[in-house]
Amino acid sequence: MKISLQRESLLKALQIISGVIEKKQTRPILANTLLSATEDRLLLTATDSEIELIGSAPLELLGKAGAVTAPARKLYDICRALPEMTSMTLSAEGDRLTLQAGNSRFSLATLPAQDFPSIEEKSFPLQCTLKQADLRYLLYKTSFAMGQQDVRHYLNGAVFDLQPGVVECMATDGHRFALSKIEEAGIGKLKTKILLPRKSVMELTRLLNADDQSLLNICINEHYLRVITPDFTFTSKLIHAALPDYHKLIPQKGAHSVIATREELRQALVRVSILSHEKFRSIKWELKEDRLEMSANNPEREEAQEVVPVEYQGKPVEVSFNVGYLLDAISAIDSEKVRWSFSNLDDGVLIEPLDETSHSLYVVMPLLVPQAEQVA
């Protein structure tokens, strides 16, 4: 293989695939990227055996086609350290890849391309298109509620429910729940439900552009999800589990309804959280007529108190929450006003944007940790 290309083109492709490569590898070749030179492009593939990500860079000159694997991190560091607008030549011979750029020359150890573990799924019977910004929106609005290393593996990811004209994304860790949906999506008559692993969700969120209105292709089969854009091809294994009916986690809009200014509430939560218990992150809510009193304390007997004006007519209510869960939900809401409602607090509090154009909602369960334990 012998090719020439611009430093910026190679650096962009390496940045795209970098998130897939783990620092600690079970197999040395997984620290490498597969470089495949075609007629006009260099394809760069990275994998951790669960996710495969392919980026590409346009070539200035193809001297000889071929494929080889090289250390991805070292190649990225070299490209980043080179001057801007540098023309580079890559040539592979034997077990070495030589990179020449101006007066700089680097020789990297390689491994055979045929040993690289690629995902060779070709049949994807379920296919549709979706705006890149819409997919990014769904992931951003819900991914924070995913579980982390939960023994119930179906919690460690996000559920995509694709129905004719509608795509829903849902996530829960058992203590909170997030749902967001896009209507009038261009998915035709496709109808399926898949569970995408946590790492795949986070990687897709990193790759997608929230302002890009171009269409991407979504391909699904029994084992994999593939997302194809002009910049990358992303393939991930799916989690196989019997998925519960997540809509049953949404409490009915309760008899008690509270409306507050979202940013005012968010800032008050940030301030009171400073003195909350490091382990429980607990804050106490005392809901009274037209006011919400929040307080927090910690083992050092430090205290914080905040009062937020709200629209509420009802009996006084006291309840404790994990302040981080509340902040995550409220920060994901864009509308000026936010509403939370409840009947039985054991079913959680339903948090929604007070904006008819929004299609997201959140449920946060109250904390069951006694106050005496929190300051002990």
Q: In 10 A of CB 17, how many CB atoms?
A: 23
Q: Which CATH architecture has domain 2-115?
A: Roll (3.10)
Distance, in Å, from the CA atom of 226 to the CA atom of 220, rounded to the nearest integer, reads 6
pLDDT of 376 reads 32
8 A C-beta contact, residue 73 and residue 36? no
Q: Which CATH architecture has domain 250-374?
A: Roll (3.10)
For residue 283, which of 311, 244, 321, 315 has the smallest C-alpha distance? Answer: 321
8 A C-beta contact, residue 253 and residue 70? no
For residue 250, which of 342, 173, 158 has the smallest C-alpha distance? Answer: 342
Per-residue confidence at 369, pLDDT binned at 50, 70, 90? low
Please state which CATH number belongs to domain 126-248. 3.10.150.10
For residue 145, which of 14, 376, 330 has the smallest C-alpha distance? Answer: 330
CA distances from 188 to 163, 169, 221 (A): 8, 17, 17
For residue 328, which of 362, 277, 302 has the smallest C-alpha distance? Answer: 362
Tokens, residue 235: 């393939």
pLDDT in tens, 9-59: 999 999 999 999 988 888 899 999 999 998 899 999 999 989 999 999 999
Tokens, residue 120: 């060779």
DSSP-assigned letter for residue 111: B
Those residues with Cβ within 8 angstroms of residue 109's Cβ, 6 or more apart along the chain or in another chain: 70, 71, 95, 96, 97
CA atoms within 13 A on the CB side of 21: 24
Per-residue confidence at 375, pLDDT binned at 50, 70, 90? very low
* 3-state secondary structure at position 167: strand
Domain ranges of the chain: 2-115, 126-248, 250-374
* Mean pLDDT of all residues in 342-354: 89
Least confident of 28-37, 236-245, 283-292, 333-342: 236-245
Task: Indicate the pTM of the whole model.
Answer: 0.90
Those residues with Cβ within 8 angstroms of residue 232's Cβ, 6 or more apart along the chain or in another chain: 16, 17, 53, 54, 55, 56, 207
pLDDT at 373 over 60: no
Backbone angles phi, psi at 284, to 5 degrees: -100, 130
Tokens, residue 174: 């058992």
Pairing state between β 61-64 and 2-6: antiparallel
pLDDT in tens, 166-199: 999 999 999 999 999 998 766 777 889 999 999 9
- 2-115 and 126-248 in the same fold: yes
Q: In what order do the strands lie in the sheet with 96-101?
A: 61-64, 2-6, 87-93, 96-101, 104-109
Distance, in Å, from the CA atom of 361 to the CA atom of 330, rounded to the nearest integer, reads 10
Distance, in Å, from the CA atom of 91 to the CA atom of 98, rounded to the nearest integer, reads 5
DSSP-assigned letter for residue 311: B
Average pLDDT of the chain, as a whole number: 91
